[in-house]
Amino acid sequence: MIKYIARRLLMLIPVLLGVTFIVFTMMYITPGDPARLVLGESAPEEAVEALREEMGLNDPFLVQYFNYMKNLIVHRDLGISYVTRQPVMQEIVAAFPSTLKLAGSAVLFAIILGIPIGIISAVKKYSIFDNVTMAFALIGISMPVFWLGLLLILLFSVKLKMLPSSGYASFKHMILPAVSLGAQSVAIIARMTRSSMLEVSGQDYIRTARAKGQKEGTVVLKHAFRNALIPISTSVGLQFGSLLGGAVLTETIFSIPGIGRLMVDSIKMRDFPLVQGSVLVISVAFCIVNLLVDLYYAYIDPRVKTQYK
């Protein structure tokens, strides 16, 4: 098991090398001059040129990439933001917790709502409940998050004055962002749970359980649900991983200073070190979440454990 984890962590290295190279290349070929963007239209050309030199932007592409990687690997330093002149690590550390909080609460909301809906829909297949919830799930998947967010603000903040419309300080602040960001995940998880449950419930061991005279609840939750968990946890993991990548729209609408907004702002300003840094951190987070999901398989399905050597 430990060997497996170590191997998986080692595999992070080529992934991250690939990610840095691709992002670096993309930023390099995108038009837009970081020095000019930092100083603004009114800055004299000499000042811009001086800054360009200072940032090392006049070096050839490979030299720039090599310098960046050297700094990253040798000094374990993500560099200094072009715009704020603060260490990139510090900027990311400031933004990541609120993203974690947002993604965490959105996924939690999605699990609490999505899994029961999926189970009930599967058990009561083609019932009114099933049809209605699956129709809602379709709407949930198709609904743009900013639209839902604004509607929720309109209803709960403006009309009912029950919840705050911006910020992230308390539980109360997180309700609306978590609901609007989690709505799609609810839909995805509910549909995944339903189809996975339906697939499992046709298996022989379910029939055996019923034949033994097990209570229906036990059959559904212990025999069917446990076996249906693998695809569900994969989809929860993927949802969480991608939400960690930042939810720019939700963060903007609810004024949450997360990593999504940080990354989009830094792309707009061509703040190369900050773009690189945030993409790197997001990739690491995504890989780790995936690894955790894989390890969780072993916990829920003993058959999988034997494969981890």
Binding site for another protein (CB under 8 A): 30-33, 36-48, 50-51, 80, 83-87, 91, 94-95, 98, 150, 153, 157-158, 161-168, 171-172, 252-258, 261-262, 268-270
Minimal distance in Å, beta carbon 270 to another protein?
5
Give whichever of 148 and 262 is closer to another protein, judged by the CB atom: 262
Of 126 and 171, which CB lies nearer to another protein in the complex structure? 171
Q: Which is nearer to another protein, 50 or 298 (CB)?
A: 50
**Closer residue to another protein, CB minimum distance, 82 or 297:** 82
DSSP string for the chain: -HHHHHHHHHTHHHHHHHHHHHHHHHHHHSS--HHHHHH-TTS-HHHHHHHHHHHTTTS-HHHHHHHHHHHHHHS----B-TTT-SBHHHHHHHHHHHHHHHHHHHHHHHHHHHHHHHHHHHHTTTSHHHHHHHHHHHHHHHS-HHHHHHHHIIIIIIIS--S-SS--SSHHHHHHHHHHHHHHHHHHHHHHHHHHHHHHHTSHHHHHHHHTT--HHHIIIIIIIHHHHHHHHHHHHHHHHHHHT--HHHHHHTT---HHHHHHHHHHTT-HHHHHHHHHHHHHHHHHHHHHHHHHHHHH-HHHHTT--
CB of 182 to another protein, least distance (A): 16
Q: How far is the CB of 135 from another protein (least distance, A)?
A: 26
Q: Give the shortest CB-295-to-another protein separation in angstroms.
A: 27
**What's the min distance (Å) between Cβ of 237 and another protein?**
26
* Nearer CB in complex with another protein: 71/234: 71
